[in-house]
């Protein structure tokens, strides 16, 4: 018992010593004069962590406007406030900003001063989720790598708003009010390095036009899409993760080889109106088909290669790669047919 007490006290002493040394190092590294200047320029409403001098935390403060931002700041946290305007004045000295989080405020398009965003020449991440935007703000800084605009009221995308955003890799527009008419053939023109596009939870009835060719992840859940156009995925040959859950896809709305695409590794078609499993590619690894109207599974029919030929395969490289198959919420009765297991020899989980 005594040994345990001594051990606990020793650990507490060591932790306190490490913390004290860390704090002293911060003071020593900054110097007395620099430290005084550092604390005095921190906005009164915000928190400036000594161990993270490039960050400014002004979140959850009930702010109605943005305070003056010091020149040293790279990372700015303003989420969960009552801010409704975005003007140039607070950012006059903040020329090194890399990251701005303005989620959960009351910002409207009319509240964004013209040109205020495009003047942030080094900005990489812009978060404007859960605001009151009705269109994608413009112009935007050409340096942007991520733009998050989820859960607004966006129904319009200004022409050419993305045309100069060659560095953008992630665009999140989910849970807005986008109709098919908002996505024209040139809407995403210029997004040459985009890897993830999220347009889930909108009001689309058709697959969006002219998705950037380098897109790896395409999220279209919770729309009203009924048809996959013929050869749709040939224009996005790198797409790897495709989510079409909670749409209105039927067997007639899918071309014979619509999802027989070698790049797709994860295909999600849950909560649609399919009565049979669509043809898939041997490279597919995860397939979600739960909550459709599928009544039976025939392994010989759905196998992407001939089961007879599989007997001649001597290594994993030639057999179907499906590892996860979800079929619950359909009208299928267990057990899983033997020919399914013979075809998909790498299956690790089947939910039925």
The secondary element (H helix, E strand) that includes residue 57 is strand 55-57
User: What is the model's pLDDT at position 21?
Assistant: 39
Q: What percent of the chain has pLDDT over 70?
A: 86
Question: How distant is the alpha carbon of residue 131 from its chain centre?
Answer: 18
**Residue 271: is its pLDDT beyond 60?**
yes
Q: Using alpha carbons, select from 65, 55, 155, 166 the residue that is nearest to residue 100.
A: 55
> When comparing pLDDT for 257 and 32, which is higher?
257
CATH annotation of 54-224: 3.80.10.10
- Residue-wise pLDDT for 46-57, tens only, equals 999 999 999 999
- Kindly calculate the radius of gyration of the chain based on its CA atoms and give it in whole angstroms: 27
User: What is the model's pLDDT at position 158?
Assistant: 96
Give this prediction's pTM.
0.87
Domain locations along the chain: 54-224
Per-residue pLDDT averaged across 167-182, rounded? Answer: 98
Q: What dihedral do alpha carbons 188, 191, 196, 201 form, nearest 10°?
A: -20
Look up residue 14 and give its two tokens. Answer: 């060591």
- Residue-wise pLDDT for 127-164, tens only, equals 999 999 999 999 999 999 999 999 999 999 999 999 99
User: What is the model's pLDDT at position 334?
Assistant: 85
Residue with tokens 């320029």: 41
How many Cα neighbours within 13 Å face the side chain of 265?
5
């Amino acid at each position: 018992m005594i040994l345990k007490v001594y051990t606990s006290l020793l650990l507490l002493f060591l932790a306190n010593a490490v913390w004290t040394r860390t704090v002293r190092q911060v003071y020593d590294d900054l110097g007395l004069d620099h430290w005084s200047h550092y604390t005095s320029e921190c906005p009164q409403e915000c928190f400036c962590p000594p161990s993270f001098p490039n960050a400014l935390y002004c979140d959850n403060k009930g702010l109605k406007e943005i305070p003056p931002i010091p020149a040293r700041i790279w990372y700015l946290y303003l989420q969960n406030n009552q801010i409704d305007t975005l003007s140039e004045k607070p950012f006059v000295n903040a020329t090194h900003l890399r990251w701005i989080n303005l989620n959960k405020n009351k910002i409207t398009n009319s509240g964004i001063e013209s040109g205020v965003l495009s003047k942030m020449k080094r900005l990489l991440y812009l978060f404007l989720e859960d605001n009151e935007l009705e269109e994608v703000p413009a112009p935007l800084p050409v340096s942007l790598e991520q733009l998050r605009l989820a859960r607004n009221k966006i129904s319009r995308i200004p022409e050419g708003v993305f045309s100069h955003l060659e560095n953008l890799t992630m665009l999140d527009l989910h849970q807005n009010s986008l109709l098919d008419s908002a996505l024209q053939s040139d809407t995403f023109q210029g997004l040459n390095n985009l890897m993830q596009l999220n347009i889930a939870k909108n009001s689309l009835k058709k697959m969006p036009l002219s998705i950037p060719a380098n897109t790896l992840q395409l999220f279209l859940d919770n729309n009203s899409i009924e048809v996959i156009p013929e050869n749709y995925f040939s224009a996005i040959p790198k797409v790897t993760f495709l989510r079409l859950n909670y749409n209105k896809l039927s067997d007639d709305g899918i071309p014979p080889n619509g999802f027989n695409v070698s790049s797709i590794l994860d295909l999600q078609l849950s909560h649609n109106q399919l009565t049979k499993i669509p043809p898939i590619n041997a490279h597919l690894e995860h397939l979600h088909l739960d909550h459709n109207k599928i009544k039976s599974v025939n392994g010989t029919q759905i196998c992407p290669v001939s089961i007879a030929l599989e007997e001649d395969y001597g290594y994993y490289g030639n057999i179907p790669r499906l590892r996860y198959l979800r079929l619950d919420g359909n009208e299928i009765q267990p057990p899983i047919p033997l020919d399914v297991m013979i075809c998909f020899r790498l299956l690790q989980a089947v939910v039925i």
